[in-house]
Structure 1
Amino acid sequence: MQARPARSFSILGWLLESRNGLGILFMLPAAVFLLCFLTYPLGLGVWLGFTDARIGREGIFVGLENYIWLFDDPVFWLSVFNTMLYTVVASVLKFVLGLWLALILNQHLPFKTFFRAIILLPGWCRPCFRRWLSGGSTIPSFRSFPMC
């Protein structure tokens, strides 16, 4: 009986031969993108929160001093309250309005498809209209006419 030669292990070989390897390879660019453009800025923001950094100079580690100052500021708590209030009210209104329109549009009404188009068309046309209005560019200096 002959012994089988030992196979060398490589990650690329395993990815290409495994059942889910191709899927993992396809997800790698997205994972790298997320790490570079989401995780790094988030980590940097947390780190800067613990320093007294200013634009143009490095910061010195101050620990929780910035957060203690922030939690003692009444304007911060007012902005937190306003943000929560706006979020709750806007979410409830959007939900109620959307449900109400959906229930109305599922009734047997004359010109039902016309009303569906009238309600849904602005949402579909908004990106095209925005692009047309900006002159084909989202960069303000490249617009064909100034916007207010």
Structure 2
Amino acid sequence: MRSALCSNKQWRANPMADGMYEVIALIPETSDFSLEVALKHFGSLKSGSTRLRAEAAVGPGKRKPSGFRVYYGDWAIVAWLEADKSVLEDSRELANRDNLPAPTEVVSTCSRRLSVWSDEDPGFDHTDEFNSFTDELRARFGVLIYDNVNGEWWT
């Protein structure tokens, strides 16, 4: 099994007991993140020689997309956009933790977040893909990744 902690001290994907990866991604107010821009960005990327497939995701009981899904072959990651009152409350609470990846005022004012989940990966074959996905979110949109399972920020 691959280690959750890389040699460069950056946190990396560690599957949950059910074989799925899960993190939240706080979206700073200065980010230009939108579902449309995310779809365009991820749809322009390749994994090896294969272009990633990105599509809008419609949640249960919803009429319009509330997230997006990115396919790495037949395995996928879905990110659900949340922007209700509880997101800001949770961000303020997370801003009180140690080792923040950004200034307190940036973390505490995040009013949007992505709840990121993967398909099952019982053989740990897709750790690199999950890490690549979260790295893209951070590099392109400046999101702040928090791992609820380990209770740690990814930096």
TM class by shorter chain equals under 0.3
Q: Which of the two has greater helix per residue?
A: 1
TM-score (norm 2): 0.18
User: Which structure has the greater CA radius of gyration?
Assistant: 1
TM-score (norm 1): 0.18
Q: Which of the two has greater strand per residue?
A: 2
